[in-house]
Structure 1
Amino acid sequence: MKWFSPRQYKLSPHQRPLFLLTTVVCLLLASGCGGSGGSAQAGTGPSRAPASASPSAPVTTPAASAGATPAASVQPSATPASAADSTDTNDVISRKLAGMTLEDKIGQMLLVGIDGTTAESAAQKMIAEDKVGGIILYSDNISSLKQLVSLTNTLKKSNNGNPAPLFMSVDQEGGKVSRLPDEYAVFPSNAAVGKENNAAAAGTMGELLARAVKSSGFNMDFAPVLDINSNPDNPVIGDRSFGSTADLVVRLGIAEMKGLESEGIVPVVKHYPGHGDTSVDSHLELPVINKTEAQLAKLEWLPFQAAIKEKADAVMVAHILYPKLDPEKPASLSRVIIGEQLRGEMGFKGVVITDDLTMGAIVKNYSLAAAAVDTVRAGSDILLVAHEYKNEQAVRAALLSSVKDGTVTEARIDESVYRILALKAKYELTDQAVPVPDLTGLNSEIKAWRKPFQQNK
Structure 2
Amino acid sequence: MTARLPAVALVLLVVLSACAGDADPTTSPSRGGAASPSSDAPLQPSGSGQPAPSLDPSVPPSPGSSAQPEPTPDPRVESALAQLDTDEALIGQLLMIGWPGRSSDGAREPIETLRPGAIVYVLANADTAERATAINVGLDGVAHGAGILPLLKAIDHEGGGIQRIGDVENLGSNLAFAEGRPSDHDACQRGAVHARQLRTMGFDMNLAPVLDVNTNPENPVIGARSFGSRPQFVARLGSAYIRGLQSGGIVAVGKHFPGHGDTSVDSHLGLPVLELGRRRLDTVELVPFEHAIAPDTGLAAVMTAHVALPRIDPSGLPATISQPIIGGILRDDLGFDGLVLTDDLGPAMAAVTDAVPPGDAAVASLKAGVDMLMVIGDRERQTIMRDALLAA
Q: 2:379 aligns with which of 357, 377, 389?
A: 389
> How many angstroms apart in 2 are the aligned matches of 1:295 and 1:397?
39
Further displaced range: 163-172 or 373-382: 163-172
Q: Does 1:103 align with 2:88?
A: yes
In angstroms, what is the RMSD of aligned CA positions?
Answer: 2.7
Q: Does 1:345 align with 2:333?
A: yes
Q: 1:315 aligns with which of 292, 299, 302?
A: 302
Q: 2:133 aligns with which of 141, 149, 159?
A: 149
Pair 1:210–1:95, CA change in 2 (3 A):
closer
Does structure 1 retain, via aligned residues, the 8 Å contact 2:16–2:249? no
In the TM superposition, what are the counterparts of 1:409-448 in structure 2 within 5 Å? none
For the residue of structure 2 that corresponds to 1:139, the secondary structure is: coil
Tell me what 1:369 maps to: 359
Q: 1:11 aligns with which of 16, 21, 25?
A: 21
Tell me what 1:274 maps to: 259
> How many angstroms apart in 1 are the aligned matches of 2:160 and 2:245?
17
Does structure 2 retain, via aligned residues, the 8 Å contact 1:226–1:249? yes
> How many angstroms apart in 2 are the aligned matches of 1:85 and 1:216?
31
> How many angstroms apart in 1 are the aligned matches of 2:126 and 2:78?
37
> How many angstroms apart in 2 are the aligned matches of 1:193 and 1:209?
14
Task: Work out the percentage of aligned pairs sharing the same amino acid.
Answer: 37
Does structure 2 retain, via aligned residues, the 8 Å contact 1:148–1:216? yes
Measured against aligned partners, the alpha-carbon deviations of 1:132-158 in whole angstroms (never above 9, x if no partner) come to: 001111211113332221111111111
Tell me what 1:302 maps to: 287
For the residue of structure 2 that corresponds to 1:279, the secondary structure is: coil
Tell me what 1:233 maps to: 218
In the TM superposition, what are the counterparts of 1:252-271 in structure 2 within 5 Å? 252-271=237-256
> How many angstroms apart in 2 are the aligned matches of 1:229 and 1:148?
31
> How many angstroms apart in 2 are the aligned matches of 1:52 and 1:320?
30
Pair 1:262–1:288, CA change in 2 (3 A):
same
Letter paired with 1:399: L
Tell me what 1:34 maps to: none
Pair 1:300–1:85, CA change in 2 (3 A):
closer
Letter paired with 1:150: A
Larger RCO, structure (CA 8 Å, separation 6 or more): 1
For the residue of structure 1 that corresponds to 2:256, the secondary structure is: strand
Further displaced range: 220-229 or 140-149: 140-149
For the residue of structure 2 that corresponds to 1:159, the secondary structure is: helix
Which of 1 and 2 has greater Rg?
1
Tell me what 2:156 maps to: 171
Q: 2:319 aligns with which of 319, 331, 354?
A: 331
TM (normalized to structure 1)? 0.69
Measured against aligned partners, the alpha-carbon deviations of 1:27-51 in whole angstroms (never above 9, x if no partner) come to: xxxxxxxxxxxxxxxxxxxxxxxx9
Pair 1:85–1:218, CA change in 2 (3 A):
closer
Pair 1:368–1:243, CA change in 2 (3 A):
same
For the residue of structure 1 that corresponds to 2:254, the secondary structure is: strand
Tell me what 2:143 maps to: 159
1:210, distance to aligned residue in structure 2 (A): 1.0
Structure with the largest fraction of helix:
1
Pair 1:311–1:258, CA change in 2 (3 A):
same
Measured against aligned partners, the alpha-carbon deviations of 1:104-126 in whole angstroms (never above 9, x if no partner) come to: 011011001111111234x2122
- Runs of at least 4 residues off by over 3 Å: 3-10, 51-58, 77-86, 90-99
Pair 1:296–1:9, CA change in 2 (3 A):
closer
Letter paired with 1:381: D
Measured against aligned partners, the alpha-carbon deviations of 1:151-176 in whole angstroms (never above 9, x if no partner) come to: 11111111116443211000010111
Pair 1:400–1:231, CA change in 2 (3 A):
same
Gapped runs of 5+ residues in structure 1? 14-50, 59-76, 403-457
Gapped runs of 5+ residues in structure 2? 1-11, 24-50
1:56, distance to aligned residue in structure 2 (A): 7.6
TM (normalized to structure 2)? 0.81
Letter paired with 2:126: I
Pair 1:381–1:243, CA change in 2 (3 A):
same
Does structure 1 retain, via aligned residues, the 8 Å contact 2:18–2:246? no
Pair 1:6–1:256, CA change in 2 (3 A):
closer
Does structure 2 retain, via aligned residues, the 8 Å contact 1:56–1:79? no
Tell me what 1:207 maps to: 192
1:202, distance to aligned residue in structure 2 (A): 1.4
> How many angstroms apart in 1 are the aligned matches of 2:350 and 2:16?
42
Letter paired with 2:378: E
Measured against aligned partners, the alpha-carbon deviations of 1:213-258 in whole angstroms (never above 9, x if no partner) come to: 1111111001111111100110000000111101110111111111
In the TM superposition, what are the counterparts of 1:40-119 in structure 2 within 5 Å? 54-55=54-55, 57=57, 93=77, 96-97=80-81, 99=83, 100-119=85-104
